[in-house]
A and B are shown apart, each in its own frame.
Chain A
Amino acid sequence: MNDEAFERELFAVRARAMPAYRLDLGDVLARARRVVRAPRPRPQWLAWLGSAACAAAAMLAVPASGGVAEAPAPAGACYSPAPPREDAVCEMPARDLVCDVTLASSEP
C-alpha cells in the first residue's frame, strides 16, 4: 500500500466512525424557495437630479461674460474657493468650482 492509499484509508476509517447525517430535503427546498431580498438599488434618477442641480448651481455662480457675481452664492449652492478680486474679472473656470450641494432626496 503506497502512502496516499494508506492516507485515504485513514480517512475512510474515520468516516465510518462518524455519525450519519440526517437528510432533510424539505428543509433544503424551503430554504431555496425562500425569497432572498437584495438591497434595493438607489434610483438612478436621483443621481441624475443631483448632477443636474450641481451643474445648474455651478452655471449660476459663474458670470456668463466678464462680469462678477454680485451676490455671494446662496448657502447650499456652489461657491468659488478663490476670494473675489478687485479688477472684477472672474477667472475661475467652472470646472474648478467646488460643489457642496447635498440634496436631501439623494440621501440613502
Chain B
Amino acid sequence: MATLPEIFASASVLDVAGDPPDAHDERFAFLYAHHAPRIHRFLRDLLGDAALAADATQETFARAYRQREAMRDRERAVPWLFGIARNVSLEARRARARASRVFVSADAEGRAPASPEGDLLGREVARVVAVALEKLSEERRAMLLLRLDHDLSYEQIAAAMGCSLAKAKVEIHRAREVLRATIEEYRRGAVR
C-alpha cells in the first residue's frame, strides 16, 4: 500500500488508467480525507445548515467517486470537486426549500481546541463574515468563498462555477467590496 505522500506526489490524484481497483479507492480515500473538511465548510456556508452540509458533502464525494474516471488532472480536481459541491448545494436548496442563511452556530462538538481568546476571536470573525455573506447572492457568495476561504485561482473559480474568467473577477471584486464595507461597519460598531 502506498503512503499518502507517495500518492500525493504521483502525477495525478485521480489518474485511474491502468491502475488496479484498489489503487483507485486508495487515491479517492486520500482525496476525500484531504478535501472533505473544506467541501463541508463551503457547503455549510452555502446551505446554512451543518447537518445538511454534511449530507451534501457525502453526496458530493459519492458523485465524484462515480465520475472519477472523468477527472485525471490533479490541478483540476479541486475546482471539479467544488463544482460538484455547488451543484449538490443547489439541488439541496431546491429540494428542501431552505432559506439561504449562514451558519453561525456555536456548537462545540468536534471543534478544534483553541484558547479562550482565539475562540472568542474566531466567533467574532465568524459573525462579521456571516453578516457579509448574507448580503451576497448565492453565486457571488460561492465565488467569494472559493477565492478567500479556499484559495482557488480566478481560473479555477471560473471552471468550478461554469462562468467566464471576466465574470468571476467582477463578481469577486463586488463581493469583496461588500465584505470590506461590512468590516468597516463592524469597526464603527454598526454590526451587532
Contact = CB atoms under 8 A, between A and B. Distances in A.
Contacts of B59: 31
Given A13-B125, A28-B58, A8 B180 contact: no
A8 B129 contact: no
Contacts of A28: 32, 58, 61-62, 65
A1 interface: no
Q: Is the interface on chain A under 10, 10 to 19, 20 to 34, or 35 or more residues? A: 20 to 34
Interface of B: 25, 29, 32-33, 36-37, 40-41, 44, 50, 54, 57-59, 61-63, 65-66, 107-112, 114, 118-119, 121-123, 125-126, 128-129, 145, 148-149, 151, 176, 179-180, 183
Given A15-B149, A17-B123, A31-B58, A10 B129 contact: yes
B interface, over-half SS:
helix
Given A14-B129, A16-B114, A32 B121 contact: no
A27 interface: yes
Interface in A18-59: 18-25, 27-29, 31-32, 34
A87 interface: no
Interface of A: 3-4, 7-8, 10-11, 13-25, 27-29, 31-32, 34
A64 B147 CA distance: 73
A22 B29 contact: no
A29 B179 CA distance: 38
B58 A24 contact: yes
A31 B62 contact: yes
A19 B107 contact: yes
Q: 3 tightest A-B contacts by CB?
A: A17-B122, A31-B62, A32-B65
A60 B111 CA distance: 78
Given A14-B125, A24-B58, 17 more contacts: A7-B180, A8-B151, A10-B148, A14-B149, A17-B123, A18-B111, A18-B122, A21-B36, A21-B40, A22-B54, A23-B32, A28-B58, A28-B61, A31-B58, A31-B59, A32-B61, A32-B65
Contacts of A29: 25, 62, 65
Question: Which of A10, A17, A22, A31 gathers most chain B CB within 10 Å?
Answer: A17
